[in-house]
Structure 1
Amino acid sequence: MKSVLFEFFSPFLVILSVFTAIISSYIALVLTQKINGANRVQKRTLTIFAAWAVGVGIFTMHFTGMAASNPTIRISYNPLILGGSLAASILGAYGAFYFLYFKNESKWKSVFSSLLLGAGIFLGHYIAVLAVREQMDFQINLLNTALSLIMAFVFSSLATRLFILAAYSKKSIARKSISAVVLGLSVAVMHYSSTSGSMMELQTEGRALNYADYSLLLFVLTMILFMIFLAVFFAVLDYRSLASEKQLQETLKESEERFRRLVELSPEPIVVQSDGDITFVNQACLNLVNAQTELDLVGKRVLDFVPKENREAIKQRISSMISGEDETPIEQKLVVPGGKALEVEIRGARMEFEGNPSIQLILRNITEQQRVRRKLEESEQRYQSLFLHNPEGVYSMDARGKMLNVNQALVDMLGYTRAEFGSLTFHEIVKPEFLPETIRNFELALKGTPRNYELVGIHRTGDSVPFHITNLPIIVDNEIIGVFGIAKNISKEKKAIRLLEENEEKYRSLFEQNLDAVFELDMDGNFTNVNHNAEKLTGYTKQELHAMAFPALIAENLQEVQQTFTLTKNGKSLRSEQKLVDKFGKQIEVDVNVVPMTRQGRVEGAFSIARDVTEKKRIEKKVNDLAFTDQLTGLPNRHWFYENLSKTAERAQQLNRSLAVVIIDFDDFKGVNDLLGHHGGDLFLQHVSERIKNCLRPSDRLSRHGGDEFIVVLEDADENYLERLSRKIIKEMNRPVILMDHDLVVTISIGISFQSNCTCDAGMLIRQADFALYSAKEKGKNNYQFYTDDLNEKATRKFQIENALRKAIDNGEFLLYYQPQIDLQSNRLVGLEALLRWQSPFGMVQPNEFIPIAEETGLILPIGEWVLDEACRQLKEWERLGFPLIKVSVNASARQFRDPNFSRKVDGILKKHQVDTRFFEIEITESVMFDVEEASQLMEELRKLGIKIAIDDFGAGFSSLTVIKNISIDTLKIDKSLIDDIIGNHRNLAILSAIIQVGKNLQTEVVAEGIETKEQMELLKSFNVTGQGYYFSKPALPEQFEKEWQQEKVWSQQR
């Protein structure tokens, strides 16, 4: 027959099961109440017992509840599984208590505890059901089971909250009993709600109980009775404890009341805080922080009054006070209401206030004390800084003069160590001759009188060290106990005084013995001192000069002199030339140096040093007249012109004035010289210079530039005036000059450079006027031309060429081309002419363009030297390569021949390259021979060096025969102009034949230049001369020349 469990219940056993749950809950509440305040071991023991009580109570209640269901049915249990039910209940309760009392504060702590307790109750019930040995059908109502689980968690949460309150509160037995009833009923409700969620039907009738079943029942009843006993026992103990505690609380309350009154009336500010919140403050604390009532402070956090940077440290200190680890006083800054900062000393102690664990903080206002302490520390630091770091020596002595303390500066000054100073008195480190005065000043300081004096100390090495000493009394409690000393090393000052005395002596010697006149003036220009030479220069005595000011001696330009003196008073040294007037009215030219007279960086007057330069000026004027005056015409010469033009151009730029340069050149002055001779030519120039001068304004400056060239510089003139002036001068020059019974009319050409706003330098103005002059001559002479934009391109080209020429050698832009000279009879190479070519940055420039510019600027000298050097180098290179030696000809300009060192330079180049001079020839033109005597001497020097001399372009000038008549030559080179028209021109052929015959008669080699056709070559071949020209070869580079002539021509074998 089938029987259904949980179909109906025995009321008695149900009540018994509920009673069992209530008793176990009571025991657990009593045990957990004792956890707070217990140590860790005690906590663990109480937790185990409480968990045992709850677990056994849950198990007993479940077992009794199982027995209460259909009590007529006899059910047997498996003891092991039943033991598992008991273990699940105990472990669930222990886990819940462990999380509550041993884990840190967390919002999840009570949740985990509730889950563990509910799981223990739930598992305890269902494991107990599984312990039934009889066969049964077990059916679960999911809804009721889910509700039982929810209720288990809800009532477990309630139980957890009750256990938390039990641990931190003191309750009476009645309140504990009520809590126990609530907990017991909660457990019972969870049990019976779980049984309602399941139904078990036994498959067989209940059997009779065996011995084991009775033993189990006996065990359960024993547990119930034991728990009842424990409950009664703990209730009695709890009653006694509560009674005693009540009495103690009353006593404590009275004590707290007395303590509270003492605290409230205490003069010390007191604060009580619990969990970081202020719970109590006394009146002294309110007064300290300037609060009106307790409400201004109570309820606020202590850390709110602590600066942010200190809050963490204070928080840790309060924790230390709570745990009893550190109760030493601390000093802390507080910020009270109103923002005022206070410094306080805080002492803390644990206490219980109104039933809560708290910390009592006793405050002591140490703000003023700290201020005084800091002031003392600052004072001590200042004293230490003054004493130890003072650059002067600082020391202290007792009343006997023994050194007590010294700073490092004094150690450095005297060389003793601090330890050595400690064994010395001042008597041992002061020179004996200064000791009596030192002792007297020391004794006066001991009597309270500060003293300043000087002495000489003794260095550890024995050297003397001068000091300035200050002695001050050391006063302690109105009693003088010693002397402070400050020693300043005055070695530098003493040395400076000696130097000052020496300098004063030197100054007096320099002032009085100076060969120049020296005046000392105050800021008003009055003479305060003068030397003997000043008296001699001015004729006044020293006393007379002391009563005068410098303006009385100034002969002219007084305003400028006064401006100079003003600048000197502002600290500037100036030099100038002035005219003085002496006592007798005689003017004296002086060179004056005026320098500020300073004392301590402040100008207090001036020194004026005057040197009589009257005689010097007279001589300079005479020399200047000779140097800057043309001796023939009396006009300024070219040296004066260049110096004056630069100044005039600079002045015109500053004043924004126009400036013009007019160059006047006679068209045929050479004819006058030829007609009248040099003396007649000089008379002519004197006459015409006066005519030109009479045409000019007084401000226009005329100078003779050399030969028959005159230049006029005109400021502030316009083009109309320049045109009128030019026409006037041309007209004057067209009038005959009657001289030495001759009526002479020599026309002139005028070139004008005009700048309405002067913006270029003097050199450019002259070049522009030159270009204009050349333009006037090209246009038929006897006219004037302005420099215009039409001439600018030509001028710019010339300027570019001139600038580029200056860099051409350094940039390696020059090249030597070589043109062969051929023996027309044998067709053999007998010589080469070196021809200069220039590969400039703006292209190849022809020699006829750049050579005249080089001549004009003087650049032909370094260029000519380069040509000589390169030709010699190439000649030596051909010799090294094994070519037979042949003659190389190099052109030399007239400018080079005027160089007195020309022959020495040529000799140096030949020796440098070790060239055989038999194969080196220098070509000159007729223009070199204007000074035949000088040229002949130079050519003779060259011939002595073994160099051959050739006359180039023979027949092109008017004095060719005169040249060869007066000098010895080796080669005669016929100009190309005589070769061009010999074919079919019998006149030219006759002239050529005559020239060739002259050369042969002089036993010179004759070279015909400019052969360009075969007909010319064949004709000249009959004259047995050497030929040169494009017919044979154009000028070529050495490399091209070597290749061409190695392949096609035959080298001469002459050596």
Structure 2
Amino acid sequence: MDRTKEKKPRSERPGPDTGICRLFFEASRDAFFCWDVTGRITHANPAAADLIGTKARDIPGKDIADLFANPQDAEQALSALQQDGGEGLRKTCPLRRGKDRVDCEISFHVLRNNSGRITGYGAVVRDISAQRLGDEELAKKTAELSKRVRELGIMYEISAVIDRRGRPFPEIVQGVLDLVPRIVAYPEIACARITIDDEEYHSAGFHPTPWHIKSDIMARCGVAGSLEVFYREERPAAFEGPFTREEKGLIDNIASRLGRVVARKRSEEMLVESEERYRSLFEDSRDAIYTVSRDGVILDANGAAMELFGYGDAEMIGMNVQQLYADPGVRAYFQSEIEEKGAVRNFEVRLKKKDGTVMDCLYTSSVRRTPGGGGVIGYHCIIRDITESKRAENEKQRLIDELKDALDKIKTLKGLIPICASCKKIRDDKGYWNRLEEYLEAQTEAVFSHGLCPECQKRFEEE
């Protein structure tokens, strides 16, 4: 038995329920238009009226071509329907809504009677304005996001150039210059110039033109130079010349980063200069200076220190400072004093040379701390040998003491002494008259022995 069903002619096929079709036609959110072979609209649903901004009853009789915003769109679509039968024809184009235009997606269909003859045409129209607007907005945002991603990528590269330590300053500047033209809209015709401390650096193909933007490079609250970006050809005006607000912001940001590099460079130069000055003072000082770690290892010492202690450079650097103390226990006391006070001046200590000679010395020291003022990591020490000056001071004191002892043993006569002009007796403080020798013996430690001088002896003999 042949189970294949014979295909019935179109006239014999059962059609859809008319009421259901009418309900679907009227309630659909898509616009429906039907028109005859002459192009006159015969039917339109309420959604069609809303689409073109009129009433449904006013649509029948209008020419379908008049609904198209562009005549060429109408001509192409209607010609395709008539020539090719239009089955499956789709078109996206704008329709009129009063004085406005509505972006629509149109699906065209051919209407036939039961005998298959074309009696007209129909179109299902969907308003895609919001969708297109959304697509355009999405495309715009996507393009903007792509631009931001590209800019961020370039800024990351610039940051990598700037933040890489140890590179010469001109190399950093040139590395930034090679990247700057890529942040603007037309990198193929862009070039840049950086001026710092009156010295200029240029990107490849540099040529100054009137179409440029400039940002100052600030360092330590002052203008250190400038970053300029040029277009070698004229471009449409934007926020500042042909450059956009976003590009201006990026250029300002790069200039700010360069300002920090310049400040860092100047700080490093000042630090080098300071270190050189310190090293010069350190090496040329007549006082012995050394730096020691907290656990007692000598880290650095100047020539005066090595000369004072009698050690060579290779011997003294790295040795334990305890070896310099005549009494090693004194260092613990010194260490507690300096860590408690932060610094000590004229701390008297006895140190010894390599050959064992003991010296009297004065320490002036300060603590060394970790960066940021953290814990103690060592000490700076200035040593002055006071052995000779102390010996001289002791000798001076000895002489003074001897003189005092001598003076204590000597009695002196001071002032006017009343003496008799005839008998030569002297009056004492109590009013008594004493013989000269008695008075002197009482007032001094002198002792008199009696004898005769030659003249008196001669006169005595004669008598």
The TM-score, its normalising length taken from structure 2, stands at 0.35
Higher helix share: 1
The TM-score, its normalising length taken from structure 1, stands at 0.18
Q: Which has the higher contact order (CA 8 A, sep 6+)?
A: 2
Structure 1 or 2, whichever has the larger Rg, is 1
